[in-house]
């Protein structure tokens, strides 16, 4: 009887491990997309994604339920990004980042920012302070709830809401500033509609 139970446990563990690996591989694209939206550097985004997957494999035992896997993975990614940022920017206080001191001021995409929607939006997102950028992309790209984002980034839900609010305001303003023609015509369009 005990032998049968042990075999059953092994079988369940084997199946879970396969499911874990499959889900991990499926998450690669999402992780990469979000990492790219944070750093706008394909090489760095790839590194962060690889590190996240490696850490997830190593610490697979920490995951209590498979349903929690997405937020668990993004927590690892956020921690990895935080470590990288601290390492290369020599920051002691990450909160300072949220004040916009380390927002990307210019990007290579800026040259095309007036012309194409994708580059305009990416350029706008890249200019956001890091904390706002993370909240915005986790909500808009990954569809996480505010509570999940709060857990991933280790901040209160109220902070998530206020950062998201500031991010969207700033992005809207930035998109208008990058495209003066759009801004100039806005009152006309609104008044006609």
Partner 1 sequence: MKRDVMISDELVNAFVDHQLDEAEKSRLFDLVEQDEVLNRRVCECHRLKEMVRHAYDHPPAAGRREGRKRRFAPYLQSLVAGLLLLIGAGAGWFAHGQPRLTEHAANLPGLLREAKAPVVLGGRVILHVGSSRPAELRAALDTTEYLLRVSKHSNQQLQLEVIANGGGLDLLRTGVSPYARRIRLLQRTYPNLSFLACHQTVTHLRQEGVAVKLLPGIREAPSALAQVVKRLQEGWQYIQA
Residues that bind partner 1 in the complex, under the rule CB under 8 A: 32-33, 36-37, 41-47, 49, 111-112, 114-119, 121-122, 125, 136-137, 139-141, 145-146, 161-162, 164-165, 168-169, 171-172, 175, 179, 181-182, 184-185, 188-190, 192-193
How many residues can be counted in the chain? 193
With respect to partner 1, which residue has the nearer C-beta, 44 or 91?
44
Nearer to partner 1, 68 or 165 (CB): 165
Query: Rounded distance, CA 81 to CA 75, Å?
Result: 10
* Shortest Cβ 146–partner 1 spacing (Å): 5
**Nearest distance from C-beta of residue 111 to partner 1, angstroms:** 7
Shortest spacing between CB 24 and partner 1, in angstroms: 16
Q: Pick between residue 1 and residue 181 the one whose CB is nearest to partner 1.
A: 181
Shortest reach from residue 105's CB to partner 1, in Å: 19
In order, the DSSP letters of the chain are -HHHHHHHHHHHHHHHHHHHHHHHHHHHHHHHHHHHHHH--HHHHHHHHHHHHHHHHHTGGG---GGGHHHHHHHHHHHHHHHHHHHHH--S-THHHHTTTTS----GGGGGTTT-HHHHHHHHHHHS-HHHHHHHHHHHTT---HHHHHHHHT--HHHHHHHHHHHHHHHHHHHHHH-HHHHHHHHHHHHH-
Nearer to partner 1, 46 or 96 (CB): 46
Q: How far is the CB of 44 from partner 1 (least distance, A)?
A: 8
Choose between 28 and 60: whose C-beta lies nearer to partner 1. 28
């Amino acid at each position: 009887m005990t032998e049968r139970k042990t075999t059953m446990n092994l079988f369940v563990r084997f199946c879970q491990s396969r499911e874990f690996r499959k889900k991990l591989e499926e998450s690669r694209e999402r992780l990469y997309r979000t990492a790219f939206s944070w750093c706008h550097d394909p090489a760095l985004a790839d590194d962060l994604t690889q590190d996240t997957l490696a850490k997830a494999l190593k610490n697979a035992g920490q995951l209590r339920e498979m349903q929690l896997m997405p937020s668990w993975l993004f927590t690892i990614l956020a921690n990895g990004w935080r470590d990288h940022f601290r390492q290369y920017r020599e920051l002691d206080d990450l909160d300072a980042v949220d004040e916009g001191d380390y927002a990307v001021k210019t990007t290579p995409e800026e040259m095309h920012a007036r012309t194409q929607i994708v580059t305009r939006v990416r350029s706008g997102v890249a200019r956001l302070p890091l904390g706002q950028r993370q909240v915005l992309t986790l909500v808009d790209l990954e569809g996480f709830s505010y509570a999940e984002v709060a857990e991933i980034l280790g901040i209160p839900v109220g902070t998530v809401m206020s950062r998201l609010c500031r991010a969207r305001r700033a992005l809207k303003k930035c998109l208008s500033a990058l495209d003066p023609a759009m801004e100039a015509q806005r009152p006309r369009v609104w008044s006609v509609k």
